[in-house]
Chain A
Amino acid sequence: MSQKLIDAIADMREDEALELVTKMAERGVEPLSILNDVKAAMDVIGQRYEEGDYFLPELVMAGEIMNQVMVMIKPALAESMEEEHLGKVVIGTVKGDIHDIGKDIVSFMLKVGGYNVLDLGVDVPAQKFVQAIREFQPQVVALSGFLTLAFDQMKATVEAIEKAGLRDRVKIMIGGGQIDEAVREYTGADAYGKDAIVAVKLANSWIGG
């Protein structure tokens, strides 16, 4: 474990972090060890975000640093390496809506929070959610939508999941610009989250963490 690397990543010192990884790889440090440092740094970042010290610039920067480090060490990582996850989440922006920033932040925070996330993208029809539930078998489904037009689509998606006989296998959370308790009730979702932190807390309370 390299506290120096963890600090460099957690403190957003991009150049320093990448230089450290290069040197560590040259010295023959185990890629798995570097990966664990990255995860430890992400935990710190997630915590600072939750505590209100870090905001979107830091999350985006963290994602960038993580991606670049992964590019550097992935070739050396064992192919069969199994990552342990707390659970599985399917996320997507509902049909008709192509907004994705909020969804991407939630997706990122859930991954940092230890979940295996399947991101279906934007403009996702109800049936695609149903299919993903059957195949990926998540415990949680997260629906994102920014326009008022999303309210009906979210309701339709929840209904489609019900019709497929899958409603009791998943917990459903919704989020987005105009989403509130009234919309939650209207759509039949289990909960709504006003931001990514709440999304992770909901996943934790439903799956465990």
Chain B
Amino acid sequence: MDKQWAKMSADEKQEAAFQKLLAPKDPAGNDLQFQSAEAEANYKASILRIKDAIQLREPDRVPVTVLPSMFPYLNAGMTVEEAMYDYDKCTAAFKQFILELKPDMHIGASAPGPGKFYEILDYKLYSWPGHGVAPEYSYQCNEGEYMKADEYDLLITDPSFYFRNFYLPRVFGALGGFTMLAPYTSILEMYGVGFNFVPFALPPVQATFQALFEAGAEALKWAMATGGSDAELTTLGFPTILGGFTKAPFDVLGDTLRGTKGIMLDIYRRPEKLLEAMDRLIPIMIGMGVSASQQTGNPLIFIPLHKGADGFLSDEQFKKFYWPQLKQVMMGLIENGCIPFPALEGHWSSRLEVIQDIPKGKTVWMVDQTDMAKVKATLGQNACLIGNVPSSMLKLGTPQEVREYARQLIDTAGQGGGFILSNGAFFDEAKMENVKAMVEAGREYGVY
């Protein structure tokens, strides 16, 4: 199997991934038992529809999906806090959401995440309901300069060591013990090996590992709940093909390591170090996506795109610091049989000419506020597009407005296939009647 896989072309690998999705297995390795013949037929029809769209062919109709953040849970009448702390309530709300809307694919109930887990490890990078944010509100990032300007060489030399000994202890209050651990790469030979392990006897290190055991158990509980939810929804005929996520190297550094201010100054003060650090990250970010795909068996790898949007960087800066590195990550994913799923968060009209330069039929892009017609004419000639009903319309508009907008989208972007109807950005609040109008419009008007 390994030899076969390694010899396959990117095309063959993507095809193999879809064939695997069309013949799902249960944890024991047997054919998955669907709950009805109808469920099985719907599942396979949805997968084929998605496959056709991604491969830039016309399916039987435009596939539809809904990509929410907290909407399923708020809509079910719970707070975000409840969704984060009660996994059963969370997955039940998500199931209700899927059964009501019947989308061709979904991304699972893992958006809220395990609140207790973040508590155990004392996550400082984010505030979440009950911890710095009101119970009804979503978690939010606490921007900061967690990586200092003079730490580029440390990161470049050994990213894992840097993450373990420097970065993670700064963003997780309970991981302070990591700062005391010796580099794994010092564990060589016979002489002196023992010294490397002395830190494990120290109370702060032991406290960190105790926290890790507790956190791991909580994470497992949550993973089983969301995994079980995905499995159940599959047997009911609703697939998820989301395998995991990765990030653009510039965003890895700019979002949560150097922070916005830090990375903008780095462009001027230490551009060579920034470029070198991103080069080090490319194979690592590819690995992140590929290994997630291997673990879950799903090929779609989500890539939220942040600081490549209009306004953050000049065209020249985008072509030097953002695009080449991101493109290499996507090429690596494609070569390994994964399907990159980047989200053009915000406005990206100034980038379209540049980002259209990718292999045909291998990627699917979530479109937010960029004009869909412009995207279709450029990027959309090589890639499948998902989107882009606006959040404000879903919350404040009428079903009529949504239907009309969706129709226009289908006319504009649905031409020749390569389009999946959806919302444009992850949303918390909306009127269910509007979300319903969106998916129904897809099913009604989207027939080819």
Q: How far is the CA of A12 from the CA of B137 in the complex (A)?
A: 40
Q: State whether the Cβ of B119 lies closer than 8 Å to any Cβ in chain A.
A: no
Which of B137, B260, B428 lies in contact with A101, CB distance below 8 A? B260
Q: State whether the Cβ of A99 lies closer than 8 Å to any Cβ in chain B.
A: yes
Kindly identify, within residues 125 to 145 of chain B, every residue whose CB is under 8 Å from any CB belonging to chain A: 127, 132-134, 136-138, 140, 142-143
Residues of chain B contacted by A178 (CB below 8 angstroms): 390-392, 425, 427
Q: State whether the Cβ of A186 lies closer than 8 Å to any Cβ in chain B.
A: yes
* 7 further contact pairs, Cβ within 8 A, besides A149-B136, A180-B390: A55-B311, A57-B313, A61-B265, A96-B133, A147-B140, A147-B428, A186-B396
Chain B interface size, as a band, is 35 or more
Q: How far is the CA of A195 from the CA of B369 in the complex (A)?
A: 13
Closest-by-CB residue of B relative to A177 is B346
Which of B268, B311, B396, B425 lies in contact with A183, CB distance below 8 A? B396
Q: How far is the CA of A103 from the CA of B311 in the complex (A)?
A: 14
Q: State whether the Cβ of A43 lies closer than 8 Å to any Cβ in chain B.
A: no
Residues of chain B contacted by A152 (CB below 8 angstroms): 429
Q: How far is the CA of A97 from the CA of B139 in the complex (A)?
A: 10
Judge whether A148 and B429 touch: CB under 8 Å: yes
Kindly identify, within residues 77 to 133 of chain A, every residue whose CB is under 8 Å from any CB belonging to chain B: 96-101
Closest-by-CB residue of A relative to B140 is A98
Which of A53, A60, A100, A194 lies in contact with B265, CB distance below 8 A? A60
Judge whether B392 and A64 touch: CB under 8 Å: no
1/0 contact trace for A163-200 toward B, CB 8 Å?
Answer: 00000000000000111101100100000001100000
Judge whether B134 and A57 touch: CB under 8 Å: no
In the complex with contacts A55-B312, A178-B392, A100-B143 CB distance below 8 A: yes
Residues of chain B contacted by A14 (CB below 8 angstroms): 268-269
Q: State whether the Cβ of B221 lies closer than 8 Å to any Cβ in chain A.
A: no
Q: State whether the Cβ of B20 lies closer than 8 Å to any Cβ in chain A.
A: no
Residues of chain B contacted by A183 (CB below 8 angstroms): 392, 396
| Least Cβ–Cβ distance between A68 and chain B, in angstroms | 12
1/0 contact trace for A131-162 toward B, CB 8 Å?
Answer: 00000000000000001110110000000000
| Least Cβ–Cβ distance between B257 and chain A, in angstroms | 15
In the complex with contacts A57-B268, A57-B313, A96-B137, A149-B392 CB distance below 8 A: no
1/0 contact trace for B353-395 toward A, CB 8 Å?
Answer: 0000000000000000000000000000000000000111101
Judge whether B317 and A64 touch: CB under 8 Å: no
Judge whether A195 and B311 touch: CB under 8 Å: yes
Judge whether A55 and B392 touch: CB under 8 Å: no
Q: State whether the Cβ of B148 lies closer than 8 Å to any Cβ in chain A.
A: no
Chain A interface size, as a band, is 20 to 34
Q: State whether the Cβ of B264 lies closer than 8 Å to any Cβ in chain A.
A: yes
| Least Cβ–Cβ distance between B258 and chain A, in angstroms | 12
Q: State whether the Cβ of B261 lies closer than 8 Å to any Cβ in chain A.
A: yes
Judge whether A182 and B138 touch: CB under 8 Å: no
Q: State whether the Cβ of B334 lies closer than 8 Å to any Cβ in chain A.
A: no
Interface residues of chain A: helix, strand, loop or mixed (majority) = loop
Closest-by-CB residue of A relative to B260 is A101
Closest-by-CB residue of A relative to B395 is A148
Q: State whether the Cβ of A56 lies closer than 8 Å to any Cβ in chain B.
A: yes
| Least Cβ–Cβ distance between B400 and chain A, in angstroms | 14
In the complex with contacts A96-B133, A182-B393, A60-B261 CB distance below 8 A: yes
Closest-by-CB residue of A relative to B318 is A55
Judge whether B264 and A99 touch: CB under 8 Å: no
Judge whether B346 and A148 touch: CB under 8 Å: no
Q: How far is the CA of A152 from the CA of B74 in the complex (A)?
A: 15
Which of B261, B396, B425 lies in contact with A151, CB distance below 8 A? B396
Residues of chain A contacted by B317 (CB below 8 angstroms): 55, 57
Closest-by-CB residue of B relative to A122 is B140
Q: State whether the Cβ of B24 lies closer than 8 Å to any Cβ in chain A.
A: no
In the complex with contacts A97-B140, A147-B428, A148-B430, A12-B133 CB distance below 8 A: no
Q: State whether the Cβ of B267 lies closer than 8 Å to any Cβ in chain A.
A: yes
Listed from nearest, the 10 A-B pairs whose CB atoms lie closest are A60-B264, A57-B264, A178-B391, A182-B392, A148-B429, A57-B267, A96-B137, A98-B140, A55-B314, A56-B312
Residues of chain B contacted by A56 (CB below 8 angstroms): 260, 264, 311-313
